[in-house]
């Protein structure tokens, strides 16, 4: 049975924390494929400071280049409108019938998971995988069954990276070198 990881988010920009988390679960669960899916309009975030969908999908391709298990997918960008995980999983199940899906999320998303559109249906379609994003760790008992990672958090956020770029500070070590070059060449996040 094909085992597919689904790793969604704004990826505005994708950073080393995203890479570590996705690679960790790919290794831990022996996933055949991991789809990295930038959202067009994240339902839980303000979209005012989003780079274009084309820029974010390109940065995801650069961040995960060199590992054939990873595929940056424009599924949510191409679909248009708000990006709901339920809709994405439904489409993926149509494309890969019989595959087993693993939804990879951070602790912040686990804490709010029961507010997601059709969250119970999402749990019926996939195995939830969660990891801490910072030293606070995972939320207490959420009542949600998930594969929990023991990976130590890499404390970085896309917001902090955008702030560093805007203030003309170094972002090396926080994002892939090719992603940093792409951001500089395109002049992203300067305003």
Task: State in Å, rounded, how far the first CA of the chain is from the last one.
Answer: 46
pLDDT tens string 39-65: 998 776 666 679 999 999 999 999 999
* Bond prior to 13 in cis (omega within 30° of 0): yes
Q: How deeply is 151 buried, as exposed, middle or buried, from its count of CB atoms within 10 A (0-12, 13-18, 19+)?
A: middle
> How confident is the model over 89-148, as pLDDT tens digits?
999 999 999 999 999 998 778 888 899 999 999 999 999 998 866 555 555 666 788 888
CA dist 168 and 56 (Å) reads 20
The residue-averaged pLDDT of 66-78 equals: 96
The one-character DSSP state at 48 is: T
Count of alpha carbons within 13 angstroms of residue 48, beta-carbon side: 3
pTM: 0.92
Q: Which residues of 85-102 are buried (b: 16+ CB within 10 A; e: fewer)?
A: bebbbeebeeeeeeeebb
* Residues in the chain, overall count: 191
């Amino acid at each position: 049975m094909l085992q597919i990881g689904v790793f969604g988010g704004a990826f505005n920009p994708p950073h080393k924390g995203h890479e570590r988390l996705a690679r960790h679960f790919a290794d831990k669960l022996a996933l055949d494929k991991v789809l990295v899916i930038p959202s067009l309009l994240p339902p839980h975030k303000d979209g005012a400071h989003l780079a274009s969908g084309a820029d974010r999908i390109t940065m995801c391709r650069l961040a995960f280049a060199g590992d054939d298990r990873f595929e940056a997918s424009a599924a949510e960008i191409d679909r248009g409108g708000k990006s709901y995980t339920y809709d994405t999983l439904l489409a993926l199940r149509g494309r890969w019938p019989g595959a087993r899906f693993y939804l990879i999320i951070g602790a912040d998303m686990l804490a709010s998971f029961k507010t997601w559109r059709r969250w119970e249906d999402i749990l019926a379609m996939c195995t939830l995988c969660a990891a801490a994003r910072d030293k606070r760790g995972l939320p207490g008992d959420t009542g949600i069954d998930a594969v929990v990672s023991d990976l130590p958090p890499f404390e970085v956020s896309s917001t902090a990276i955008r702030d560093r770029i805007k203030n003309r500070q170094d972002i090396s070590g926080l994002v892939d070198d090719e992603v940093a070059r792409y951001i500089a060449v395109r002049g992203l996040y300067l305003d």
